[in-house]
Structure 1
């Protein structure tokens, strides 16, 4: 009662007093001489405010929150106070506001009039409180829920920055907002009935940076009038495509949006994205395209988004991971709940800053060993609710992984996870897998600080539907503060010291040097990553036992000439993710074998860097790495120091255009130059004859010197500009106009080559003799190009080839792969093949994996696969198959068969009888209402059948929305995740 008594005592009793009550406490209007804040509780659930909240104004004075007690009509002087800064009059059935009603509250900065009945003519026409910064009029019922409300008049609000008009049934706005709201920065119009054409005549103020239009009736919106926006939210509208110039239908037209940083199109109908549509929005930092109907992204569509940090493509219809390799600043990537069935080699290459990766709820059944290469910052990985039964050894090495989620997969043993040495892991989620019920976690070879989650606890087990439809649960994103570092000596791991006392750590290392020398001959591995180091001074470490030093992700901008002088046995040095202002490497390392300088070089001067970096004791990075990425520079790097033992040099993501001084690395074998600015001129420099592995992905290469190629065993050229593959003299024959500048790769003499990738280039032609000298080649990747046809005998000399990847080209016919006796994997998914003939595959005795996913297959001839006696996995998903011939797959040892997303109406049309030995069958996404178990009667009893599309589903086959209810009782005897296990007696 204290506040109410104070207000009554100071109220000046004028004529026409109104006495209103709030929970038996009286408020008397007019209110004058107010000397303290009064905040009454509202029982109505309020819409949260995102910006411009009362508490955001630090110079505020008194706050009045008076829900449900205001006069029906507000009048000048109903409140008089020069101390009230924030005023809330919600839920009061206010019907009218007289002009000048707030003129006696001259310092009012925040006004909330939500959930009243203000007449439309008064909604914005009550005068101009001079200092008003935030105006909230959400959920107003001005005309008894009348639809198609039109705002046509407004007072002049000179300083208003935040305007909330949510849930007001507004159909149109005919106010010149530029004139009436000249300082407006944030406009919230969500949950109305606005159409996109509105923004061609509304005249938005040039100060507007944030526009919220969630859940309106927008089908088309052109952003040419919104060019000053930094944030645009269009969730829950009716947009079906994104374009820039050639736009038709229900489009978001992105024009002139160079300042746009945040764009959200969650829950629209987007199915088409025009190539190049983001060219004028290349500064995007966050892009949300979740819950749409996207089946694929055009090649290179994301390449211009160098500043993108957060990308969500969840709940779409993607069949493969799009090309994200040029998103060098990406920190969070969500591709969960799509139709992806496998993760191939180097799918996520160059994503050095990626921390959170979500791939749950797909159809992933296999992950190749190098799929997660370069994810050195990865902390959380979600692989839940896929079809994984094992992971290859070394699949997740060189990461900082803390959370691994493999719930709802088919792992039966800890060994099948291949994470024995993943010591950074803090949480492992195995709920809903055979592993959770059949293993004892305390016997697993795993880090001592790892928590294994084998049961759904009450905190996340929301309902009986949870295990089947887990869409709402996400692993909590925990930001670790790196308060300690590790010093590891062979089998011992010792917790050390906080980064505030990093100097003490150096002292400790030096003090124990002599003791360690006397105790053992083992080497020391020192990890000082993420400790806030800025400068390495002379002899900052002194220990002859240290052979490995990790200084990754610090703020190092200066290294003294003799910094490493007392580390004579150093073999591994990692300086990635720092700010080294060097175009020359002058340090001598007599025994160094591996040097990592990924994302470490800048051309800024030491003085500029020293000024930009904070010297706080908390070791918090103050120079943004993304700011460094925006700098327009090329690095001409020269190696001047002696590196006689160096074998592996990593220089990824440094914008290097030239590299010289490799004569100082006479034993170099591995050179990593991914994601730089290298062109053909680079290869006029000296290359050591010892070099065998060359990685040049994501550059601008159109040509490569054949003398370089001839000594290599591994050559990775993905994401460059090569148009043609040829060999020898034929390379000089210009067959087409676009070859006039020789954007080609001459493979003559490349007899040592074992692995070659030219994925995602501009390949349009491969000469018949292109691979004539590549008899030792084991892996060839030509995916993501523009190949329409391949010469008849183009692969005839590749007698040792084991893996051939031709995915995502324009092939209409199956290329000639006959007599490739060592071929084990053939991927033809994402092409335009229509028929698999009976003579398509001859003499391929070792072929194990064959994929035709996402072609245009409508026919498979009898006997098409009869000669593939070793075939264990066949993927025909995403095609147009209506029926398959009898005995079409008999006589082979098939273990996994994928027939998802075809046009089968009955399971009998799949002709599955007599397929012995099969372990897994996927028939999800076909238009089958039901099927008879008779069609499966001769299949193995242990067969696992997937009958449901990816995503959340109930036992009764319907999509489960995952609210707090229990799913219906299952029809099937045994149900796990999204798969059916039939058990017959």
Structure 2
């Protein structure tokens, strides 16, 4: 046999053998499907489903995810084994009864953010969903709630619809139900039956906020822990409406129409677990009576309270946060000792009232006293003596003048870390400031001079704001910055500085000099601040060559130089080690 013929015959035989082998093994596996076609032996995860609706994902045999596909029709080919079905963020207007009812094993149904109306959500469909635990139909177009939801339900979210009515078996007779969300609907008291939650004594969270309720609904579940009723039209809490809610910890009633006559001494007295009560943005003229001793936070801001009677607070001995901002407390609105029974009080907010002095005889454990936007015009030597443990004192935007701030006014506050005196009428720094200060804010006063003495001993100060005053470089005494060894942020913006003040603190990282009269930055301007990271020089009088080439070269950490709003675009030469970022500049 010729050599070529023998070679061809051998090749033919090899191809025949390979073909027979492939036929015996079956068709080749597509790339990326090896694990699906041949699952690993001993693998514990559930196998992927063979059928999945078009464009949806089915990560497990019991899960179908069709989120955000702009679907207008309920997808077909959903396997009966599905337990978790998500159809949120689509364009569905209705759910077909026959498709939904056959998914009897469904546990989670997510229909959030569709166009489903009450007519498109058949009640009969839920009768076969005996395993359903979570239903999410928020942000749809429901006008009434489903008349029947499964007995097995645990979480029901019908928020942000147009619901005007719910029915006894919508949420009633659900022993496992824990959370109900009905906020942002159009529910009035007439649309909420008396037996709406009968037989559902495990509900812990109920949200009825942003509806049209005119009084607090009666017959609420005794199991409630969180009750949201804010943004309604509630003017009255009927007597006994909260008598059974002994587990309630949070009650939100802000932004309603509550008046003193809409509450009585028993309204809150039975709430023996209550910790948070928000009554802000109502029409109350007095602090409510009968507050429980468990209460930790009481929010009464934006009411019409003119006077705080100590007797109204005696029961709330566990109170830690009392918020009374934006009321009508005048010169006698908070009598001395009115809060003395609140021995655990940590924070007191009183801003936006008409107080003429710091309240006397405040609780000794007070840590934060917030009093901006009042009429406080003087600070005596003993005004703060009862609150030696303060760590935060805010007296911004009052009427304080230097002549009426006693030299020893701040001396008792040895733990003070933050002092805000912005927006007053101070012409000089207060004396004997606590050495514990970390932040001192004196912007928007009338400071004309800075001397070393008031800043002596402030070796922990990290932030100092002197913006919007009348300071000139010549008015800053020699050695003023000497003891501020920890200062990282210094704000001297919007003063009358004509050049960068010398001998700034070595630890400085952020320097605000915008809005001054600086026309030139010399080569030694930042010689004392090698750690500077951010420099703000916008809205001064700088021109293209106003910053000496050497001025910034000794600042290896400098990352931001802002020179916008000057007469010309300013040439900025960053240090060689600094990353090359766009330089702020321009007229």
Q: What's the TM-score, normalizing by structure 1?
A: 0.39
Q: In 2, Cα distance between the equivalents of 1:355 and 1:39?
A: 50
Out of 266, 271, 294, which is 1:157 matched to?
271
Cα distance, 1:81 vs structure 2 = 4.1
1:222 maps to 2:335: yes
Question: Which residue number in structure 2 is paired with residue 131 of structure 1?
Answer: 247
- Residues 533-583 of structure 1: CA deviation (Å, up to 9, x unaligned): xxxxxxxxxxxxxxxxxxxxxxxxxxxxxxxxxxxxxxxxxxxxxxxxxxx
Question: Which position in structure 1 is the counterpart of 2:408?
Answer: 300
1:320 positional shift: 0.2
Provide the aligned length of Structure 1 versus Structure 2: 418
Q: 1:313 aligns with which of 412, 421, 440?
A: 421
| Shift, 1:98, TM fit | 4.6
- Indicate if the aligned counterparts of 1:132 and 1:160 stay in contact, CA closer than 8 A: yes
Within 5 Å, give how 1:39-50 maps onto structure 2: 40-41=159-160
- Say if 2:439 and 2:462, in contact at 8 Å, map to a contact too: yes
Whole-Å Cα distance in 1 between the matches of residues 148 and 215 of structure 2?
16
Q: Are the counterparts in 1 of residues 522 and 548 from structure 2 also a CA contact under 8 Å? A: no
Change (3 A) 1:385 1:279: same
Deviates more, 1:420-429 or 1:282-291: 420-429
1:496-895 equivalences under 5 Å are none
Match of 2:306 among 186, 189, 195: 195
Which one has the largest radius of gyration? 2
8 Å CA contact 2:531, 2:556 repeated in 1: no
SS in 2 for 1:222: coil
CA distance in 1, matches of 2:362, 2:234: 38
Of the three residues 221, 225, 238, the one matched with 1:122 is 238
Partner of 2:513: 406
1:454 equivalent in structure 2:
563
1:423 to 518, 530, 536: 530
Q: Deviations over 1:317-373 (max 9, x none)?
A: 001010244x12211110111010011124312112211110000111121231122
Counterpart Cα distance in 1 of 2:263 and 2:439: 40
- In structure 1, the partner of 2:451 is 344
How far off its partner does 1:261 sit?
0.4
SS of 2:393's equivalent? strand
Which residue does 2:146 correspond to in 1? Answer: 28
Distance 2:490 2:524 in 1: 13
Q: Residues 262-318 of structure 1: CA distance to partner in whole angstroms, max 9, x if unpaired? A: 001110111122221111111001000001110022111101101111110000000
Q: Does residue 375 in structure 1 map to residue 484 in structure 2?
A: yes
Answer with 409-418 or 188-197: which moved more: 409-418
Are 1:235 and 2:348 matched, yes or no?
Answer: no
Query: What is the DSSP-based 3-state SS (H/G/I as helix, E as strand, rest coil) of the residue aligned with 1:9?
Result: helix
CA contact (8 A) 1:332 1:357 kept: yes
Indicate conservation of the 8 Å contact 1:98/1:126, yes or no. Answer: no
Q: Retained in 2: the 8 A contact 1:30–1:78?
A: no
CA separation of 1:115/1:72 partners in 2, compared to 1, >3 Å: closer, same or farther?
Answer: same
Q: 1:150 to 1:359 in 2, by over 3 A?
A: farther
Query: 2:285 aligns to what SS in structure 1?
Result: strand
- 1:690-721 CA distance string (max 9 Å, x none): xxxxxxxxxxxxxxxxxxxxxxxxxxxxxxxx
Return 5+ residue gaps in structure 1 as ranges: 14-19, 44-59, 243-251, 458-490, 495-975, 977-985
Query: 2:514·2:540 contact (CA, 8 Å) conserved in 1?
Result: yes
Report the 3-state secondary structure (helix = DSSP H, G, I; strand = E; otherwise coil) of the residue aligned with 1:241: coil
Contact 1:203–1:225 (8 Å) recurs in 2: no
The 8 Å contact of residues 418 and 440 in structure 2, kept in 1 or not, is answered as yes
Provide the secondary structure at the position in 2 that maps to 1:292.
Answer: coil
Residue in structure 2 matched with residue 72 of structure 1 by the alignment: 189
Is the 8 Å Cα contact of residues 331 and 354 (structure 1) preserved in structure 2? yes
CA gap 1:129/1:375 in 2 versus in 1, 3 angstroms: same
Aligned partners of 1:92 and 1:116 also within 8 Å = yes
Superposed CA RMSD? 3.5
Query: Aligned partners of 1:274 and 1:221: how far apart in 2?
Result: 18
Take 1:234 and 1:438, find their aligned partners in 2: how far apart are those partners?
Answer: 50
Q: Please give the alpha-carbon distance, in whole angstroms, between the structure 1 residues aligned to 2:484 and 2:127.
A: 65
Q: Per-residue deviation at 1:197?
A: 4.1
Q: TM-score, normalised by structure 2?
A: 0.64
- Establish whether residue 168 from structure 1 lines up as the match of residue 302 from structure 2: no
Separation in 1 of the partners of 2:217 and 2:179? 24
Contact 2:525–2:551 at 8 Å: present in 1 too?
A: no
Give the alignment partner of residue 383 of structure 2, picking from 277, 280, 283.
277
In 2, Cα distance between equivalents of 1:121 and 1:11: 39
Counterparts in 2 of 1:373 and 1:84: CA distance versus 1, 3 Å? farther
Query: What is the deviation of 1:34?
Result: 2.6
Shift of 1:414: 1.1
Q: Secondary structure at the match of 1:263?
A: strand
Q: What is the CA distance between 1:85 and its match in structure 2? A: 3.1
**Residues 359-412 of structure 1 deviation map (CA, whole Å, 9 limit, x = unaligned):** 000111121231122222211110001111235532x133x2111001111122
Q: Secondary structure in 1 aligned to 2:126?
A: helix
In the TM superposition, what is the alpha-carbon distance from 1:33 to its structure 2 partner?
Answer: 4.2
Output one character per residue of 1:711-754: Cα deviation in whole Å (capped at 9) or x when no partner.
xxxxxxxxxxxxxxxxxxxxxxxxxxxxxxxxxxxxxxxxxxxx
How far the C-alpha of 1:429 sits from its partner, in A, is: 0.4
| 2:91 counterpart residue number | none
Instruction: Classify 1:321/1:429 alpha carbon distance in 2 versus 1 (closer, same or farther; 3 Å).
Output: same
Structure 2: state its 5+ residue gaps.
1-87, 89-108, 112-120, 131-136, 163-176, 567-574, 579-586
